[in-house]
Amino acid sequence: MTTKLFAEVDAKAAQQLLDSPTPPLLIDVREQNEWDAGYLRGATHAPKGTISFTIGNIAPEKSAPILLYCAGGVRSAAVAETLAGLGYTNLTSMVGGINGWSAAGLPVVETTTLTPEQKSRYSRHLLLPGVGAEGQAKLLKARVLMVGAGGLGAPAALYLAAAGVGHVRIIDFDNVEASNLQRQVIHTTDRVGMPKVDSAAVQIHALNPDVQVEAINGMLTTENVASLLDGVDLVIDGTDTFEARYALNDAAVQLGIPVVHAGVFRFEGQLTVLAPGRGPCYRCLHPTPPPAEMAPGCGVAGVLGVLPGAIGVLQATEALKVLLGIGEPLIGRLLLWDALEGGFTELTVRRDPHCVACGDGKRGGGAA
Amino acid sequence: MSINVRIPPVLRAQTGGAKVVSVEGATLGATLQALVAAHPELREQIFEADSSLRRWVNVYVDGADVRHLGGLETPTRDGIEVVILPAMAGGAAAPVGE
C-alpha cells in the first residue's frame, strides 16, 4: 500500500491556504513565457526543468509547506513527486493550475509583456530580486514630475529615463547656458540657448525611446502646481526657490504624493523623502524660509559640479525605491553628504503635529 | 567636557572656515552661547534678539531635532555631536531671491 506523497487542492481551497495566517510557499513551475503572461501574487518562479537544483535555495527547510501550480495541474503534480523524492514532506499541488484559478474568477498578476527590445534593455533589472518583470512594468507605467531640469534634475532625469520610468513631466523656465554644462549633464554645448525642458527631452529620447516626455517651459506657481501634480506618482524636487518649494510641498501633501527633496551647497548636499501620511513634510523640516543671504544659490556661492550629480542620482535612487516599493526610503531621515570629507550624516526628521501643511487634522496629515 | 558643533557651509565665513567648533556647555543653549562667544558674527545668524533660536535654523543633537527634545534646555554630555542646519537652496543656477 502506498501513501500519497503530496496533497491536491482546487483553486478555491488553494486561495484559502494562501489567505491563512501561515500561508504555504507558492511556487510557479511553468516556463518563462508562461510566467511573463501572468502569475499568482506572491509566487516564486521555479521552472520544472531546473527546480531540483533551485529548490534548496527557495525552500531550505524540507518540512516547509509548499503549494505548487502550473498551467493545468499536470506539471505541478510531477514536480510534487520529484520534490517528495528529495525529502520534502509538506507538498500540495493545485488541481487545474492557473487556468482553473482564473476560471474561478480569482485574480492573476498581469505583467506588461515586455518586448524583446525591453527585455534586453532592462535585463539587469529583470535579474534583480524586488524588481524583475513585475517591477519593470511598474516603472514603465510610472509618472514622475521633475521640478527643474538643472543641477539636480539633470542627473535624476537621466537615470529615471534609463531605468524606464515611462512618463516624465519636466518643468523649468530657464534656457541652457554655457555655465550650466559644468554639472547639468542632460544638456549639451550645441543646445546652449534652447529651453532646458526641450534640451532635456532631446537627451531623454536619445537615451530611452520608451519614455514619454512632457516638457513644460514655465515656472511652478501656487496657481499651476495642482495641475502639474495631476496624475503623478512621485515628484523630484530640484527647485531653487523657497516659494516654489513650499508651493510644491503644500500641494503634494494635499494630494498625498511623495516628493524626493534635495538641496546642495558648494561641496555638501542633503536629501530626504517627504511622503505624506508616512513622515514629515518640508514645512515640518523647515517651517520658515531663511533670509536670502542665508541660502544663496549655486550662482552666488558656487558648487562642485559633481555634487548635484551625486545628490541628483541619490534622488533618482530614492524615487525608484518608492515607485517599486522596495528597501527603506529616506522617509523621516535627512541624509547629509560632505563631498570633501567623503562622509554621510543622518538626521532624524519628525512630522510636526502642529505643522500648517500636514499637522494633525489636516488633509494629508499623519494622524489617523 | 567637549562638544563638537558642526557648522553648516553657509555659516563658515563666520567661523573662519572651521567646519567643526569644539565648545563646552551643560545645556544646548549654553553650548551655543559659548559658540557665539567664540565667533561673535554667528550670534545674529543663530539667535533672535531674545536669545531664542532663529526659526529657520534647525539644531540636532546626536541626530535628533532639538525641537523634539528640550530645545535650548536639552542637556549635553561629553562627546555628543551638535549639527546646525539651515535650509539649503537647490541645484539650479539662479540665485535665490532674485
Residue of chain A whose Cα is closest to the Cα of B62: A347
Name chain B contacts of A347, Cβ cutoff 8 Å.
60, 63-65, 83, 85
A241 to chain B, any CB pair closer than 8 A? The answer is: yes
Grid cell listed for A325:
516599493
β-strand pairing of A167-172 with A143-147: parallel
Q: What is the pLDDT of residue B90?
A: 57
What order do you get walking across the sheet with A25-28 strand by strand?
Answer: A7-9, A91-94, A66-69, A25-28, A44-45
Q: Between A263, A297, A345, which is nearest B93 by CB?
A: A297
Cβ <8 Å between A151 and B96: no
Tens of pLDDT, residues A122-167: 999 999 988 998 899 999 999 999 999 999 999 999 999 999 999 9
Alpha carbon distances (Å) from A257 to A154, A251, A323, B18? 21, 9, 11, 39
Q: Which one, of A294, A284, A289, A277, lies nearest residue A351 by Cα?
A: A284
User: Which residues does chain B have with pLDDT short of 50?
Assistant: 91-98
Distance, in angstroms, between B38 CA and closest chain A CA?
A: 20
Q: Which one, of B20, B11, B89, lies nearest residue A265 by Cα?
A: B89
Residues A88 and A177 in one domain: no
Q: What is the pLDDT of residue A231?
A: 96
Stretch A36-62: mean pLDDT: 91
Residues A39 and A169 in one domain: no
Domain membership of residue A282 (yes or no) is: yes
A173 to chain B, any CB pair closer than 8 A? The answer is: no
Q: What is the pLDDT of residue A207?
A: 98
Distance, in angstroms, between A119 CA and closest chain B CA?
A: 34
Backbone torsions φ then ψ of A46, nearest 5 degrees:
-145, 90
Q: What is the pLDDT of residue B91?
A: 47
Domain that holds residue A11: 7-103
Q: What is the pLDDT of residue B94?
A: 36
A302 to chain B, any CB pair closer than 8 A? The answer is: no
- This prediction has a pTM of 0.77
A295 to chain B, any CB pair closer than 8 A? The answer is: yes
Angle between helices A153-163 and A306-324 (to 10 degrees): 40
Domain membership of residue A197 (yes or no) is: yes
Q: Between A180, A237, A268, which is nearest B9 by CB?
A: A268
Name chain A contacts of B56, Cβ cutoff 8 Å.
286, 288-291, 294
The C-alpha R_g of chain A, in whole angstroms, comes to 25
Task: Evaluate whether A360 touches A367 at the Cβ level (below 8 Å).
Answer: yes
Q: Which helix (H) or strand (E) holds B30?
A: helix B28-38
Give me the CATH number covering residue A16: 3.40.250.10
Q: Given a cut of 80, is residue A174 above it in pLDDT?
A: yes
Q: Which helix (H) or strand (E) holds A227?
A: helix A225-229
From CA B30, how far away is CA B37, in angstroms rounded? 10
Q: How many domains does chain A have?
A: 2
Give me the CATH number covering residue A178: 3.40.50.720
Q: Which helix (H) or strand (E) holds A44?
A: strand A44-45
Please report the domains of chain B, with CATH numbers, ordered by start residue: 3-86 (3.10.20.30)
Domain membership of residue A2 (yes or no) is: no
Name chain B contacts of A152, Cβ cutoff 8 Å.
90-92
Q: Between B8, B45, B89, which is nearest A296 by CB?
A: B89
Residues of chain B with pLDDT > 90, as a percent, come to 71
Stretch A240-258: mean pLDDT: 94
Distance, in angstroms, between B95 CA and closest chain A CA?
A: 4
From CA A141, how far away is CA A120, in angstroms rounded? 18
